[in-house]
């Protein structure tokens, strides 16, 4: 089972992915979390990504595709994978399709979280006061939203064209409310 949790910055992808991982035993693969780890460890990848991320821009497709290519086989070994923050461009989506096709797999569902922009900004600024993520500044948030509209939204049309199940789910309300909607939308039962 390969699923994608999709949505703009601050829409709750990470929050919901943790719940889905617990309930359905899908392995959560977050490219943002992986990159933040690389930055914290000061690896070559982290050094390349740090400034790009802090500005709210997208890191190069090749770098991200490489990261996913290395981790996917291990993640796929379990009950399934839930991708968070990837794919984020059409080229990433095409690269993912090819990677999965090589193993006889394909994306089975996309859950697209829908949250109005003013709420997104509010959530991220609230988190900034607690966690201090380098890209949770007003300028970087604006750039992240811009990249989302310019490049990432097109990923949804890519999957719709392929008849992949795309479920739009409201991300408003409590995290539990949202999770209940997701559970109903994807309709997979807990193993
Ligand atoms: P990434 O880490 O993917 O960040 P993002 O997409 O900007 O999204 P966030 O992680 O900020 O939000 P989220 O949707 O996970 O929401 P969360 O659950 O945290 O990417 C960061 C950067 O890495 C990119 O800008 C780019 O530079 C690089 N990158 C990553 N992947 C890449 C790729 N594939 N290609 C190129 N570059 C890539 O929730 C947000 C906050 O709201 C939290 O504080 C949470 O507690 C709170 N919250 C959650 N749900 C609710 C709720 N229902 N009500 C109230 N508050 C809530
Ligand atoms: Mg996240």
Residue 100 lies in a domain: yes
Q: What amino acid positions are annotated as catalytic residues?
A: 13, 88, 127, 133, 144
pLDDT tens digits for 105-137? 999 999 999 999 999 999 999 999 999 999 999
Q: Which ligand is nearest to the CA of 135?
A: 1
* Spatial CA neighbour of 32 closest among 2, 11, 9, 16: 9
Confidence of residue 79 (pLDDT cuts 50, 70, 90): confident
Taking the CA atoms of the chain, what radius of gyration do you get in angstroms?
16
Show the tokens assigned to 160.
């719709």
Residue 14 lies in a domain: yes
CA of 11 to the centre of ligand 1 (A): 7
User: Cis bond leading into 87, ω under 30°?
Assistant: yes
Ligand 1 atom nearest to 16, measured from its CA: 18
Going by alpha carbons, the residue nearest to atom 2 of ligand 1 is: 32
Q: Please indicate whether residue 51, judged by its CB atom, sits closer than 6 Å to ligand 1.
A: no
**pLDDT at res. 189:** 56
If one counts the domains in the chain, the total is 1
Confidence of residue 75 (pLDDT cuts 50, 70, 90): confident
Q: How far is residue 29's CA from residue 167's CA, in Å, rounded to a whole number?
A: 19
Residue 88 lies in a domain: yes
Tally Cβ neighbours within 10 Å of residue 150.
11
Residue 190 lies in a domain: no
Write the CATH number for 168: 3.40.50.300
Q: Please indicate whether residue 10, judged by its CB atom, sits closer than 6 Å to ligand 1.
A: yes
pLDDT tens digits for 33-69? 999 999 999 999 999 999 999 999 999 999 999 999 9
Residue 191 lies in a domain: no
Mean residue pLDDT across the chain: 95
pTM above 0.95? Answer: yes
Give residue 18's domain range. Answer: 2-181
For a pocket test of ligand 1, which of 17, 21, 31, 72 has the largest count of ligand atoms closer than 8 A to its C-beta? 31
Residue 50 lies in a domain: yes
Residue 187 lies in a domain: no
Residue 189 lies in a domain: no
Q: Please indicate whether residue 15, judged by its CB atom, sits closer than 6 Å to ligand 1.
A: yes
């Amino acid at each position: 089972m390969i699923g994608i949790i999709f949505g703009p910055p601050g829409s709750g992808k990470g929050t919901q992915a943790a719940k889905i991982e617990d309930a359905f035993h899908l392995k959560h693969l977050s490219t943002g979390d992986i990159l933040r780890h690389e930055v914290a460890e000061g690896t070559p990848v982290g050094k390349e990504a740090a400034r790009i991320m802090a500005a709210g821009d997208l890191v190069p497709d090749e770098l991200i595709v490489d990261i996913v290519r290395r981790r996917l086989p291990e993640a796929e070994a379990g009950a399934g994978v839930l991708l968070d923050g990837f794919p984020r461009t059409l080229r990433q989506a095409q690269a993912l399709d090819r990677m999965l096709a090589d193993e006889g797999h394909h994306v089975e569902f996309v859950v697209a979280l829908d949250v109005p922009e003013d709420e997104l900004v509010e959530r991220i600024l609230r988190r900034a006061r607690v966690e201090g993520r380098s890209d949770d500044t007003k300028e970087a948030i604006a750039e992240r939203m811009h990249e989302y509209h310019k490049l990432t939204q097109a990923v949804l049309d890519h999957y719709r064209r392929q008849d992949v199940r795309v479920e739009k789910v409201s991300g408003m309300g409590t995290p539990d409310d949202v999770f209940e909607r997701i559970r109903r939308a994807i309709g997979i039962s807990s193993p």
